Structure 1
Amino acid sequence: MVDLSDIPSAMNEQVAMMEGILIASATGGSPDNHVYEHLRREFMADPTIQNLLPDFVRTYRNLNAFWPFIKNEAGTYAERRQIISGAFTRLLDHLESRNSAPSDQSASDALVSFDEQGVHSVWTKAIARRNTDPEGAITIARTLLETVTKRILDEMGETYSDKDDLPKLYNSAAKVLNLAPSQHTEEAIKAILGGAMTLVNGIGTLRNRLSDAHGQGGKRPVRPSPRHASLAVNTAGAIATFLVETFKEREGR
């Protein structure tokens, strides 16, 4: 019996779990055949994913059938790990591309009309994704802020580099809008603007830090939850709206 609560919701994490189960099976570990069979059925039901699965996953329905294959393919654990990991590269690359591109595009498209309504539209889409795809929602939140800050810098005639990260872009936009803490003397205003800058810095690194799959020491990598996504999305939406409103006010004057 498979406990579905042990299976991650994100497709790329499910694929990584299957890869780990197969590696365990091939290197003397304690694999979970029931989870492998469950994941295989789910993947085989998706025509796109099925075509990108390793041949041995499509061929072998369970780990007992897989073992003779991998045993004959390579004699050492290191070679077996390399064979299995290499076979999943194409599928994982596809999933990473699928998960990132739509998020970036949704923010850019909605902000063709650069106003509070455009921000709200992206904000709503990100909120809708926070439960089913927390990482995607966080990506939208970050991209929303990047899109808004770049648009402001473009409109104000300021230059920036494609290599500039979100904190640097926000800092530049804040300065041209007179929103940098150093541009104010009132302590309450400085505190609010400084807090906004800190939050933006956090959003700029949140997704990468939480989804880092290269942790050391055998610890399970931390994954963003819906509450992390809600915090990032709501923060990004509020700050993006504030930036757009400030820009529109200056433009009106």
Structure 2
Amino acid sequence: MMDFDDQDDERTLKEKVEKFQMGLICRATGETQLDDHVFIRLRQELLQEVAIANRLPDFVRRCRNNDQFWQFIKAKFPSYAERRKYIWDGFAPTFEHLEAQHRGVAIPPISEALQTFDPAHVTDIWQKALDRRLSDPDGAITAARTLLETVCKHVLDDAGETYPSNADLPKLWLLAATRLNLAPSQHQEETFKAILGGCQTIVNGLGTIRNKIGDAHGQGRNPIRPQPRHAELAVNLAGTMASFLVSTWKEKYEGKIG
């Protein structure tokens, strides 16, 4: 039986939609239903998500609580099977959109790398960055930087390296990269030095874009508002840099290289 009061199963937007859909199916078929406060909270949160609000079924917008949905669904279909199919079909466009957002070429390998590194924490930050790209670009950019900062700190902690508590992202990256032999100054081959230098430039840029247009700092009367494309770029870059660190860390600390 699903625990409809447990918010631990709502770490991603897709999981919220799944929980709400299941709650509606349970209500429509006489099983344990969502408590009204959970129904109202989830409904409001989903309707506030710009990325999916227009893709939600009409009955989500029309039915504000369990009783309204029950009156609607029992009058529309007499059988449980018809009700289930109607709800599943209604949410299909929402799930298709959410799943399409996570089928980018780079996203699955990044997700897999981060999952093996620290599934309890790092993966949650990565998921938050992915979920917010369209609906909350400010938050996605902030999450992207937090992801990189967290991965750098994990690498340094595991290596037994100390770092200043107020170290910014470029400093953390340099310390972690140096520990993993990824600093440009540690190599002689010019092409490789250029690539590693480019990584440092990307990290510096992520820090700058977050400071300029992320939601970590207040802005004046003419704030710079990031667009979803800016968030998409920041999240993809942060994910790529984070997975690069993780892959190198795994090789080094699993004894594959010296």
Q: TM-score when scaled to structure 2? A: 0.50
Q: Which amino acid aligns with 1:242?
A: F
Q: CA RMSD in A?
A: 2.8
Residue 144 of structure 2 contacts residue 238 of structure 2 at CA under 8 Å; is this kept in 1?
A: yes
Consecutive unaligned residues of structure 2, counting only runs of 5 or more, are 1-43, 46-113
Residue 237 of structure 2 is aligned with which of 201, 213, 235? 235
2: CA distance between counterparts of 1:191 and 1:246?
18
2: CA distance between counterparts of 1:120 and 1:150?
15
2: CA distance between counterparts of 1:142 and 1:120?
14
1:146 aligns with 2:154: no
2: CA distance between counterparts of 1:198 and 1:133?
25
Q: Kindly state the Cα deviation for residue 221 of structure 1 after the two structures are TM-superposed.
A: 2.1
Residue 116 of structure 1 contacts residue 241 of structure 1 at CA under 8 Å; is this kept in 2?
A: no
Q: 2:176 maps to which residue?
A: 173
1:199 aligns with 2:218: no
1:209 aligns with 2:212: yes
Residue 246 of structure 1 is aligned with which of 229, 240, 248? 248
Residue 135 of structure 1 contacts residue 229 of structure 1 at CA under 8 Å; is this kept in 2?
A: yes
| Residues 234 and 120 of structure 1: CA distance in aligned 2, closer, same or farther (over 3 Å) | farther
Give per-residue Cα distances to partners, 1:11-40, cap 9 Å, x unaligned: xxxxxxxxxxxxxxxxxxxxxxxxxxxxxx
Residue 148 of structure 1 contacts residue 240 of structure 1 at CA under 8 Å; is this kept in 2?
A: yes
State the SS of the aligned residue for 2:211: helix
Consecutive unaligned residues of structure 1, counting only runs of 5 or more, are 1-44, 47-110
Give per-residue Cα distances to partners, 1:175-216, cap 9 Å, x unaligned: 00000011111111111111110111111121221256544x
Q: Kindly state the Cα deviation for residue 138 of structure 1 after the two structures are TM-superposed.
A: 0.7
Q: Which amino acid aligns with 2:160?
A: G
Q: 1:136 maps to which residue?
A: 139
Residue 122 of structure 2 contacts residue 150 of structure 2 at CA under 8 Å; is this kept in 1?
A: no
State the SS of the aligned residue for 2:135: coil
Q: Which amino acid aligns with 1:149?
A: C
Q: Kindly state the Cα deviation for residue 123 of structure 1 after the two structures are TM-superposed.
A: 3.1
State the SS of the aligned residue for 1:125: helix
Residue 115 of structure 2 contacts residue 123 of structure 2 at CA under 8 Å; is this kept in 1?
A: no
Q: Kindly state the Cα deviation for residue 120 of structure 1 after the two structures are TM-superposed.
A: 5.9
1: CA distance between counterparts of 2:240 and 2:123?
9
Residue 221 of structure 1 is aligned with which of 196, 204, 223? 223
State the SS of the aligned residue for 1:130: helix
1: CA distance between counterparts of 2:136 and 2:212?
16
Percent identity over paired residues: 58
State the SS of the aligned residue for 1:223: coil
2: CA distance between counterparts of 1:119 and 1:138?
15
Q: Kindly state the Cα deviation for residue 125 of structure 1 after the two structures are TM-superposed.
A: 3.3
Q: 2:163 maps to which residue?
A: 160
State the SS of the aligned residue for 1:162: coil
Q: Kindly state the Cα deviation for residue 124 of structure 1 after the two structures are TM-superposed.
A: 4.0
Answer with 160-169 or 111-120: which moved more: 111-120
1: CA distance between counterparts of 2:151 and 2:180?
13
1: CA distance between counterparts of 2:130 and 2:211?
19
2: CA distance between counterparts of 1:226 and 1:234?
12
2: CA distance between counterparts of 1:158 and 1:119?
19
Q: Which amino acid aligns with 1:240?
A: A
1: CA distance between counterparts of 2:235 and 2:219?
25
Q: 1:183 maps to which residue?
A: 186
Task: Work out the number of aligned pairs and report it.
Answer: 143
User: How do 1:2-151 and structure 2 match up within 5 A?
Assistant: 114=117, 122-151=125-154
